[in-house]
């Protein structure tokens, strides 16, 4: 029973619901939570979680969920996870803040992909679910929205420092999301009449004084012009201090930042850049693609024409080559757990190494002295070995590592110089990638 | 020859006992040996010493610890009102790898222990402990992230919180005869940057949940 990995859908946005509602800590836990689960089971439909996780994983059933909460055994905060083994993926947390803390039911649900919610009926069911929960467990504020857009909105701080945010929470209407529930305090701060007259697809007063507000019938097209207009109109209605055109302009900028961009990466480094793009946060993904589309990786400069190569100046070339081989093996030692392909010393291994160093932000994290003394020689030697093995290259050993060359076709390459340039910063890992040098060397093999 | 030197997972050489790298080294050696047997490669595997040395230069946890200690030391030099971490101390004394003993967890070494060395007003001096973690939290799902943080916070509290018996001799004068002192605050600091989950909302919510369950521990990212 394996919960479907969110990573299988890296390029996709999700719909996220956040909900914190009051519950009665005196009542038996099961009877207090049953209504929550009834609502979930009634409305989740095609995205219903099928796995519950406490310390162990179990097939979803109410009994399994009680068991999971008990297993976790938190005294002041206890929780369990709910997942799905099928598409669409679900990552859900059900938590309970317990006395002496103010007792609250804590819910976070992420359903991926967001495009699953392009269907109006599915979205309607989702809204009904929120409505039923908010009617049963009063909230101060609850919402559902695109994760990527939520990140761009500056949530949850909205410009405040962490301390202020922790203390005040969502104490005024910083943002209007696709689906919103405003608790009585927020309603009073705006004025009940004013809130109920908000221009939106659905505005409804709940029996406990909360107000449910839905900007549009569907969640997935939040970035469309129509959706942004609806969002901006609702927001400035609730916050008359805000200027409509400013709010709308900000929302349009967010839409532009999230608009899908077709990757057109330089072919030499496309496999590397694709992995880097997969590594950045969902709200930065499209801008990163655009940046890489406009990025010409610099032409490698760590080479000389073969006829001006420096002749070997070592007494025992065989020993020098063994030393390079030993240095290269140090890179294998350092990387093999995270990059199993490093054993193979192929061009693909170089791309995997490039990515791993970038992913770890290696040049920034480790001491410069160690990088220069130990990482640079290992990387240079490894690059040289890959050229030798895959392109029929030949080491031309030198006493100084920086002068050591690998002859491939009509060029000699300086792998240790490349490695030094490469390790100078995180950006340099891309500018001086091992992948790129290999591809250029391959073309000049003659 | 290589067969004879073949390392065993259960028999690390002296000095490698308990080293998490040893298991990885055995896997590495086996892989290279297998290739040689198949005639795929002629390269002899590295010996343990250079293998382990390479790791030592690039141990993420140590690099993070050094960074944090430098930040704390710089903070201690600031006037008290301007300090970010150590505002609760008049004159903080920063000590690394301090042996601390508790009945439940035995002898452990706190990454950093900070003790008040100025203006002692009777009673035990103020003591805070710091635990640093270079843990990759970036790929975790929501509930798994919360579970990990709570587990780490609990562990920090159990090992370095509540009442500690401070073993370091040089600190005994500050303890005035009673080496058992209450710890005012335990800090659990995760390495930020690429190891941190990118989703701010989820990260903050997870920190709040962990703080709620383990109130004696301050969880933060650097």
Over the stretch A89-134, which tens digit does the pLDDT of each residue have? Answer: 999 999 999 999 999 999 999 999 999 999 999 999 999 999 999 9
Q: Which DSSP symbol is given to A102?
A: P
Q: Which residue of A has its CA nearest to B45?
A: A329
Alpha-carbon gap, residue B193 to A287, rounded angstroms? 19
Tell me the average pLDDT of chain B.
90
Residue A386 sits in which domain range? 297-444
Q: Scan residues 368-387 of A and list those with Cβ closer than 8 Å to B.
A: 370, 373-375, 378
| Domain endpoint, select from A258, A280, A311 | A258
How far from B151 is each of A164, B61, B99, B154, B158, CA to CA, in Å? 27, 18, 22, 5, 11
Q: What pairs with residue B100 in β-bridges?
A: B108, B166
User: Cβ B58–A366 below 8 Å, yes or no?
Assistant: yes
Tell whether A349 and A289 lie within a shared domain: no
A186 located within any domain: yes
Q: Angle, to 10 degrees, between the axis of helix A347-360 and the axis of helix A434-443?
A: 160
Regarding whether A333 and A358 lie in a shared domain, the answer is: yes
Does the pLDDT of residue B30 top 90, yes or no?
A: yes
Mean pLDDT of A71-81: 93
Where in chain B are the domains? 1-45, 60-221
Q: Which of A258, A285, A311 is the last residue of a domain?
A: A258
A425 secondary structure, DSSP code: -
In terms of DSSP H, where are the helices of B104-217?
142-160, 172-175, 200-213
- Specify whether A243 is located in the same domain as A267: no
Query: A8 falls in which pLDDT band (50, 70, 90)?
Result: low
Q: B134-173 pLDDT, tens per residue?
A: 999 988 989 999 999 999 999 999 999 999 999 998 888 8
- How confident is the model at residue B44, as a pLDDT? 84
Same domain flag for A228 and A284: no
Which residues in chain A have their CB less than 8 angstroms from residue B55's CB?
333-334
- Residues A224, A356, single domain; the answer is no
What is the pLDDT at residue A23? 92
d(CA A333, CA A336): 6
Given a cut of 60, is residue B210 above it in pLDDT? yes
Q: Could you tell me if A227 and A270 lie in one domain?
A: no
Pairwise CB contact (< 8 Å): A333 & B46: yes
Q: Which residues contact A37 (CB under 8 A, 6 or more apart)?
A: A62, A65
Q: Is A1 inside a domain boundary?
A: no
**Which residues from B are below 8 Å from A332, CB to CB?**
28
Nearest by CB: A7 against B55, B139, B212: B139
The percentage of chain B sitting over the pLDDT mark of 70, rounded to a whole number, equals 98
Burial class (CB within 10 angstroms; exposed 0-12, middle 13-18, buried 19+) of A9: middle
Q: From the list A76, A108, A334, which residue is nearest B213 (CB)?
A: A76
- Of the three residues A246, A270, A296, the one that is the final residue of a domain is A296
- pLDDT number for residue B1: 67
Local confidence band at B8 (pLDDT 50, 70, 90 cut-offs): confident
Total domain count for chain A? 3
Same domain, A345 and A280: no
Q: Are residues A197 and A277 located together in one domain of the fold? A: no
According to the model, what pLDDT value does residue B3 have?
76
Could you tell me if A280 and A253 lie in one domain?
Answer: no
Within this chain, do residues A24 and A161 fall inside the same structural domain, yes or no?
yes
Give the mean pLDDT of A183-202: 97
Restricting to A residues 306-325, those with a Cβ less than 8 Å away from any Cβ of B are: 325
Q: How far is B57 from chain A (nearest CA, A)?
A: 6
* Buried-state track A298-320, b at ≥16 Cβ within 10 A, e below 16: eebebbeebeeeeebeeeeeeeb
A353 or B120, which is more confident: A353
pTM: 0.90
Q: Does A7 touch chain B (CB under 8 A)?
A: yes
Element (DSSP H or E) covering residue A214 = strand A211-214
A401-444 pLDDT, tens digit each? 999 999 999 999 999 999 999 999 999 999 999 999 999 999 99
Distance from CA of B68 to the nearest CA of A (A): 12
Best residue of B209, B216, B221 to probe chain A, by most A CBs closer than 10 Å: B209
Indicate the CATH number of B60-221 among 3.30.750, 3.40.1350, 2.60.40, 1.20.1070: 3.40.1350
Cα B140 → chain centroid? 20
Task: Report ipTM (2 d.p.).
Answer: 0.88
Both A209 and A283 in a single domain?
A: no
Instruction: Judge if A75 and A201 occupy the same domain.
Output: yes
């Amino acid at each position: 029973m394996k919960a479907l990995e969110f990573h299988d859908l890296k390029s996709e946005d999700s719909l996220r619901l956040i909900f914190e509602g009051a519950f009665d800590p005196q009542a038996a836990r099961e009877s207090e939570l049953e209504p929550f689960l009834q609502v979930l089971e009634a409305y989740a439909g095609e995205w219903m979680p099928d796995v519950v996780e406490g310390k162990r994983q179990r097939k979803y059933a109410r009994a399994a969920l009680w068991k999971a909460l008990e297993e976790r055994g938190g005294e002041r905060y206890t929780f369990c996870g709910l997942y799905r083994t099928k598409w669409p993926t679900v990552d859900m947390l059900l938590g309970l803040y317990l006395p002496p803390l103010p007792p609250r039911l804590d819910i976070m649900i992420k359903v991926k992909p967001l495009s699953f919610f392009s269907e109006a009926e599915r979205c309607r069911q989702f809204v009904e679910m929120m409505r039923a929960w908010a009617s049963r467990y009063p909230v101060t504020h609850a919402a559902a929205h695109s994760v990527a857009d939520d990140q761009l909105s500056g949530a949850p701080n909205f410009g405040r420092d962490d301390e202020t945010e922790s203390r005040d929470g969502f104490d005024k209407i910083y943002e209007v999301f696709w689906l919103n529930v405003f608790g009585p305090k927020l309603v009073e701060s705006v004025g009940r009449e004013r809130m109920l007259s908000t221009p939106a697809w659905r505005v409804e007063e709940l029996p406990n004084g909360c107000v449910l507000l839905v900007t549009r019938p569907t969640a997935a097209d939040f970035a469309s012009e129509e959706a942004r207009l609806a969002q901006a109109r609702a927001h400035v209605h609730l916050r008359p201090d805000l200027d409509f055109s400013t709010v709308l302009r900000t929302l349009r900028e967010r839409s532009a930042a999230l608009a899908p961009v077709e990757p057109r990466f330089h072919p030499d480094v496309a496999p590397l850049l694709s992995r880097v793009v997969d590594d950045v946060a969902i709200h930065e993904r499209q801008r990163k693609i655009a940046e890489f589309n406009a990025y010409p990786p610099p032409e490698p400069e760590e080479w000389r024409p073969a006829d001006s190569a420096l002749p070997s100046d070592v007494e025992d070339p065989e020993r020098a080559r063994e030393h390079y081989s030993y240095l290269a093996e140090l890179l294998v030692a350092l990387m093999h757990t995270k990059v199993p392909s490093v054993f193979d010393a192929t061009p693909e291994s170089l791309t995997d190494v490039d990515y791993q160093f970038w992913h770890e932000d290696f040049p920034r994290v480790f001491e410069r002295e160690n990088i220069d003394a130990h990482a640079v020689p290992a990387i240079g030697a490894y690059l040289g070995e890959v050229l030798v093995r895959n392109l029929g290259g030949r080491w031309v050993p030198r006493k100084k590592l920086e002068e050591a060359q690998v002859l491939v076709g009509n060029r000699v390459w300086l792998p240790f110089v490349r490695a030094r340039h490469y390790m100078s910063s995180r950006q340099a890992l891309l500018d001086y990638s091992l992948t790129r040098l290999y591809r250029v060397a391959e073309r000049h093999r003659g | 020859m290589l067969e004879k030197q073949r390392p065993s997972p259960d028999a690390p050489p002296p000095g490698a006992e308990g080293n998490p790298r040893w298991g990885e080294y055995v896997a590495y050696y086996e892989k290279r040996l297998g290739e040689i047997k198949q005639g795929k490669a002629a390269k002899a595997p590295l010996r343990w010493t250079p293998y382990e040395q390479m790791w030592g230069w690039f141990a993420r946890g140590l690099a993070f610890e050094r960074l944090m200690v430098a930040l704390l030391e710089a903070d201690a030099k600031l006037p008290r009102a301007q300090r970010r971490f150590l505002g609760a101390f008049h004159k903080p004394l920063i000590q690394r790898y301090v042996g601390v003993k508790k009945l439940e967890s035995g002898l452990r070494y706190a990454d950093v222990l900070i003790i008040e060395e100025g203006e002692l007003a009777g009673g035990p001096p103020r003591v805070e402990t710091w635990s640093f973690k270079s843990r990759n939290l970036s790929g975790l799902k929501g509930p798994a992230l919360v579970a990990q943080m709570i587990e780490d916070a609990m562990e920090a509290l159990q090992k370095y919180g509540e009442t500690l018996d401070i073993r370091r001799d040089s600190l005994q004068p500050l303890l005035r005869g009673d080496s058992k002192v209450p710890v005012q605050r335990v800090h659990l600091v995760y390495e930020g940057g690429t190891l941190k989950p990118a989703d701010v909302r989820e990260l903050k919510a997870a920190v709040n949940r962990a703080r709620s369950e383990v109130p004696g521990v301050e969880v933060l990212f650097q």
